[in-house]
Amino acid sequence: MSELEIRSERYDSPVAQGLVVAALADLATRYGGEGDETPVAAAEFVPPSGTFLVAYLDDVPVGCAGWRSHGDSGELAELKRLYVASTARGRGIARSLLAAVERSAREHGRRRLILECGDRQPEAIALYQRSGYERIEDFGYYRDEPDVLSFGRSL
């Protein structure tokens, strides 16, 4: 049986950036363009304002996810860059990453996690719904796009 480990990484580290590039390529295949043009800065994922996590399967990086603060209240966190390599899908890694992001955000005082997702990501939508996320008013960079779906969940 393979061993999964989730570790904090700097968003701008080579390992994290390799996974982010793969995530954006996956999104570009689904939606075209750059995949996701939402402005993202590495500093947004530095505690206590955020965290970026990398999933390792048998010491090989296979997935990532992070959260960054959203708004000024100090209570909202936004999920960004949840991704699992195609070779590692179907093993519960995305759910483990999501749980680790939720735990980290909660430990840093966030009370709610929100996210944007596109309608061409049925596996992600199913994960969020199974995990207790509900549709919320669109809020982010793509809020005015017809294929955006926004979700939120209290932590």
Q: 25: domain CATH number?
A: 3.40.630.30
Number of domains the chain contains: 1
Q: Is residue 99 part of a domain?
A: yes
In a domain, 127, yes or no: no
Please state the pTM of the whole predicted model: 0.95
- Does residue 123 lie in a domain region? no
Is residue 153 included in any domain, yes or no? no
Q: Is 42 exposed, middle or buried (0-12, 13-18, 19+ CB in 10 A)?
A: middle
Decide if 52 is inside a domain: yes
Query: Is 88 part of any domain?
Result: yes
* Structural domain boundaries, residue 18: 4-115
- Tens of pLDDT, residue by residue, the chain (155 residues): 579 999 999 999 999 999 999 999 999 999 998 888 899 999 999 999 999 999 999 999 999 999 999 998 899 999 999 999 999 999 999 999 999 999 999 999 999 999 999 999 999 999 999 999 999 999 988 899 999 999 999 99
DSSP E strand stretches across 58-106: 60-70, 76-84
User: Is the peptide bond prior to 48 cis by the omega test (within 30 degrees of 0)?
Assistant: yes
